[in-house]
Amino acid sequence: MKIILLGAPGAGKGTQAQFISEHLNIPQISTGDMLRAAVANKSDLGLKAKDLMEKGELVPDDLILDLVKDRINEDDCLNGFLFDGFPRTLDQAAALKDRGVEIDCVIEIMVSDEEIIQRMSGRRVHSASGRTYHILHNPPKIENIDDVTGEALIQRPDDNEETVKKRLAIYHEQTYPLVDFYKDLSNEKGSTSYIEINGVGGIDNIQSQIIDNIEKLK
């Protein structure tokens, strides 16, 4: 099965992407991983991408799409693949369609901005161990103190409320329009299915929703 996973930063895409990949035995593909692999393998596309990145320039969509087509033609994609974080823009989505890359379903993990801000801005971390707490859902025994070492907890810069709001604003401007693009596509006969998943609640419940909807498509 060929799947695109959509959702705002902090919606839980990473957790669900890994689950879907393992459940369906298909590779999880991100543009970052593809670029790193192409550069490491010194392929023609990888060398072009490396040259651009070393100059501090953005890798253009055409090059990204060439990398995507190469990647999904590899043997481990015979049974499908999961795009995680791609496409990010309407131009990328349209180009993917124009190049004949068929997608079986798009899964959107739906979580409100308010919930995401609460989730991310409430996280606290013990730097040395990576232990993670949440001031509401999983608080330490003593406020801002690690339960094990008694050392201070920190808030990562990415979890700062203003930073989270900026990331959400970029998502709504650049990536959220893909929701309408793929919903419209799903209305075309024999085309891509669109699945909406409520991303609030226990992980097991969210994964059950995903499995139930995927099984209906088989």
Write out the catalytic residue numbers: 13, 88, 123, 156, 167
User: Which residues are 137's β-sheet partners?
Assistant: none
**Pairwise CA distance, residues 163 & 159, whole Å:** 7
Which one, of 28, 19, 31, 13, lies nearest residue 88 by Cα?
A: 31
**How deeply is 42 buried, as exposed, middle or buried, from its count of CB atoms within 10 A (0-12, 13-18, 19+)?**
exposed
Question: DSSP characters for 46-72?
Answer: HHHHHHHHHTTPPPPHHHHHHHHHHHH
- Judge whether 8 and 119 are in contact, CB under 8 Å: no
Which single residue is written with the structure tokens 């393992």? 22
